[in-house]
C-alpha cells in the first residue's frame, strides 16, 4: 500500500512522543524480539528479509518529513522533526540501526531472542522504538511458517508409518488455498510465501511472487488444473457427468494430475456411479491421476467413505508397509481443514488400511488468517539503554503477569556445539558465554544496507530439518 511508504508514519501514534520520554542522558538503545510461548514450543524464523527489503531499504525524503510534520501536528502528537532531518542529512535518509538475526528458516525454541536491534547514535537512539511497529509485524510470516511446519511434521509422521516414499510425497501434501481468506493482498503474499518454506503446493500466486521478489526463487510453488463448483453446476444437475468428462477431455493426459470438486450434488453418488461408473474407463485409459475433492460434510467421515468407494471402484495395491494405495485416483480435502482435522483424517485413513499417499489437504483461512500475534506471544522489548557512555540492562517484570517478564542486557542467541540447544545470553564484551557456545546470530542489516541475504533454498533447507 502506498499509504505505508512513508516510514515516518508507518508506526503507532504514541511512538511519536517517545523521544521526549527517555532519560535526558540516554544515548543508545538495544531491543530484542522473541516468542514468549504460545501454541507451539518452537518457531520457524522467517520473513524479516521481506520487511527489510520492502520498508527499510528506501531512504526517507525531505518531502516525507514535511508530510509527517503536517500529519503529527494535526493528529495531536509531538514530532522530532529535527531528528528526522538529521537522519536525512547525516545518514542518507536511512535509520542508523544494526539488526542481528538468526538465519531465516531456523527453528528456535520459544523464549529466545530471534533478532536484535541496536542504535548507538545519541541524537536518534529512539528510532528503535519508532521502528517497533513495523518490525514486530514479522510475527505473521513466522507464525504461518511455524504452523505450516507443525502440520508438516504431523503429515510426515503419517507418511513414515504408511508410505513407501514419505519424503517424496511430503512437499505437496498441504496446498495453500488461503489467498481469498486473508485480510489483504500483502497478507496473501507474505503468508503464502511463508507457507512455501515448508511445502511446494499453492494456489496463492502472490506468495510465489513474494518468494521471487524477496528471496530470488524463480518458481517456489506449483499447482494443477482444478474445477470449482461453478464449472460443474454450469452444466446443470443433469449434465454433471458431462462436466466431469469435459475435465477429462481437457486435462487428463498421461502422467498429469487434475482435481475435480465432486460434491455439488451428491459426492457419494458422483464417486460411486459417475467417476467409478460411467467415467471409470475414461479415467483409467487417460493415464492421468484424478484427484477427487469432497468439499462439505464432516471431513473425517466423508474422506474415509470416499476412500472406501474409490477402492471398490478403482482398486488399490498394497505397499511395502502393508497399506493400500489407490490406483488412478487420489483425494484432496479442502473444507474444514486445520491442524486437528488433518491429524484426525490421517488417523481414520490409517485405521481403514489406507496409506497417507492417498490424501492431500488444501488449507485456506486456517493457514493464513486464523492466527494473530498472541498465537506465539511475540514482543519486541528494550533490554538495554546507554546513558552517557555506559550501557545499563533494563527489563519489565509485571507482578500481574510473570509471563511478560522480559530479558535484560545486550543479548544474542547462542547454540551449544555439544548439545545443539539454543539459549539467549547477554553479550560479554561481544564474546560467547563459554567455549561450547557459538553465536547463532549474524548481522543482517546496518544503516540501510542488507549485509546478509538468504535465498529460498537456504531457508527451506534449514526449515526441513526434523532431527
pLDDT of residue 427: 82
- Cα 80 to its chain centre, rounded Å, is 36
Read off the DSSP letter of residue 431: B
Do 155 and 466 contact (CB within 8 A), yes or no?
Answer: no
Do 365 and 334 contact (CB within 8 A), yes or no?
Answer: no
pTM (2 d.p.) = 0.97
> 26-35 and 378-387 as β-strands: parallel, antiparallel, unpaired?
antiparallel
Residue ranges in the chain modelled with pLDDT below 70: 1, 429-430, 467
**Residues 317-334: tens digit of each pLDDT:** 999 999 999 999 999 999
Round to whole Å and give the CA distance between 175 and 187.
17
Where is 423: in which H helix or E strand? Answer: strand 422-426
Do 358 and 325 contact (CB within 8 A), yes or no?
Answer: yes
Round to whole Å and give the CA distance between 412 and 430.
9
Q: How many residues does the chain have?
A: 467
pLDDT of residue 429: 62
**Residues 2-42: tens digit of each pLDDT:** 778 999 999 999 999 999 999 999 999 999 999 999 999 99
pLDDT of residue 134: 98
Name the one residue in this structure whose C-alpha cell is 499509504: 3
* Residue 372 CB neighbours (<10 A): 11
Round to whole Å and give the CA distance between 437 and 421.
9
- For residue 261, give the C-alpha cell: 470438486
pLDDT of residue 27: 98
Nearest to 232 by CA among 219, 221, 223, 245: 245
- 110 by DSSP, 3-state: which? coil
- For residue 17, give the C-alpha cell: 512522543
Do 159 and 350 contact (CB within 8 A), yes or no?
Answer: no
- Cα 169 to its chain centre, rounded Å, is 21
> 289-293 and 329-333 as β-strands: parallel, antiparallel, unpaired?
parallel
- For residue 402, give the C-alpha cell: 510473570
Q: How far is CA 56 from CA 86, 97, 370, 450, in A?
A: 17, 10, 28, 9
> 422-426 and 437-439 as β-strands: parallel, antiparallel, unpaired?
unpaired
Round to whole Å and give the CA distance between 206 and 191.
9
Q: How far is CA 203 from CA 225, 260, 293, 463, in A?
A: 10, 15, 15, 21
pLDDT of residue 430: 58
Round to whole Å and give the CA distance between 82 and 70.
14
- For residue 157, give the C-alpha cell: 509422521
- 241 by DSSP, 3-state: which? helix
Q: How far is CA 69 from CA 6, 78, 90, in A?
A: 12, 9, 19
Round to whole Å and give the CA distance between 343 and 349.
10
- Cα 100 to its chain centre, rounded Å, is 20
pLDDT of residue 1: 56
Round to whole Å and give the CA distance between 138 and 376.
12
Round to whole Å and give the CA distance between 144 and 455.
19
Read off the DSSP letter of residue 352: T
Do 448 and 57 contact (CB within 8 A), yes or no?
Answer: yes
> 442-446 and 98-101 as β-strands: parallel, antiparallel, unpaired?
antiparallel
Amino acid at each position: 500500500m502506498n499509504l505505508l511508504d512513508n516510514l515516518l508514519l508507518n508506526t503507532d501514534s504514541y511512538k511519536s512522543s517517545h523521544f521526549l520520554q527517555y532519560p535526558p542522558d540516554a544515548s543508545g538503545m538495544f531491543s530484542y524480539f522473541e516468542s514468549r510461548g504460545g501454541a507451539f514450543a518452537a518457531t520457524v524464523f522467517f520473513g524479516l528479509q521481506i520487511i527489510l527489503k520492502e520498508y527499510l531499504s528506501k531512504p526517507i525524503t525531505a518531502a516525507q518529513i514535511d508530510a509527517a510534520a503536517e500529519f503529527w501536528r494535526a493528529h495531536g502528537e509531538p514530532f522530532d522533526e529535527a531528528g528526522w532531518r538529521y537522519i536525512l542529512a547525516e545518514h542518507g535518509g536511512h535509520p542508523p540501526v544494526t539488526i542481528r538475526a538468526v538465519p531465516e528458516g531456523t527453528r528456535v525454541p520459544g523464549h529466545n531472542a530471534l533478532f536484535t536491534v541496536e542504535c548507538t547514535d545519541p541524537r536518534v537512539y529512539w528510532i528503535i522504538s519508532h521502528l517497533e511497529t513495523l518490525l514486530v509485524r514479522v510475527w505473521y510470516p513466522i507464525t504461518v511458517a511455524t504452523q505450516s511446519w507443525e502440520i508438516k511434521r504431523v503429515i510426515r509422521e503419517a507418511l513414515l508409518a504408511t508410505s513407501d516414499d514419505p519424503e517424496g510425497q511430503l512437499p505437496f501434501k498441504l496446498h495453500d488455498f488461503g489467498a481469498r481468506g486473508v485480510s489483504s493482498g500483502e497478507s496473501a503474499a507474505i503468508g503464502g510465501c511463508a507457507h512455501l518454506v515448508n511445502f511446494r503446493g499453492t494456489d496463492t500466486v502472490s506468495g510465489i511472487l513474494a518468494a521471487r521478489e524477496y528471496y530470488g526463487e524463480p518458481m517456489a510453488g506449483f499447482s494443477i488444473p482444478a474445477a470449482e463448483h461453478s464449472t460443474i453446476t454450469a452444466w446443470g444437475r443433469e449434465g454433471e457427468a458431462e462436466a466431469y468428462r469435459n475435465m477429462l477431455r481437457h486435462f487428463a493426459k498421461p502422467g498429469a494430475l487434475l482435481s475435480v470438486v465432486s460434491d455439488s450434488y451428491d459426492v457419494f453418488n458422483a464417486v460411486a456411479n459417475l467417476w467409478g461408473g460411467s467415467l471409470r474407463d475414461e479415467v483409467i485409459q487417460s493415464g492421468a491421476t484424478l484427484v477427487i475433492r469432497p468439499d462439505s460434510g464432516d471431513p473425517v467421515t466423508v474422506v474415509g467413505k470416499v476412500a472406501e468407494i474409490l477402492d471398490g471402484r478403482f482398486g488399490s495395491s498394497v505397499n511395502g508397509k502393508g497399506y493400500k494405495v489407490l490406483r488412478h485416483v487420489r483425494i484432496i480435502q479442502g473444507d474444514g481443514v486445520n491442524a486437528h482435522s488433518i491429524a484426525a483424517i490421517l488417523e481414520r485413513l490409517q485405521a481403514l488400511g489406507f496409506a497417507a499417499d492417498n490424501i492431500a489437504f488444501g488449507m485456506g483461512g486456517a493457514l493464513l488468517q486464523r492466527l494473530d500475534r498472541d498465537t506465539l506471544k511475540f514482543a519486541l522489548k528494550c533490554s538495554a539503554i546507554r546513558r552517557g557512555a555506559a550501557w545499563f540492562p533494563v527489563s519489565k517484570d509485571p507482578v500481574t503477569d510473570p509471563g511478560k517478564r522480559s530479558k535484560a542486557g545486550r543479548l544474542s542467541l547462542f547454540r551449544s556445539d555439544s548439545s545443539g540447544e539454543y539459549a539467549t545470553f547477554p553479550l560479554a564484551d561481544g564474546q560467547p558465554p563459554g567455549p561450547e557456545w557459538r553465536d547463532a546470530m549474524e548481522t543482517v542489516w546496518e544503516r540501510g544496507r542488507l549485509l546478509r541475504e538468504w535465498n529460498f533454498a537456504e531457508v527451506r533447507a534449514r526449515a526441513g530439518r526434523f532431527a
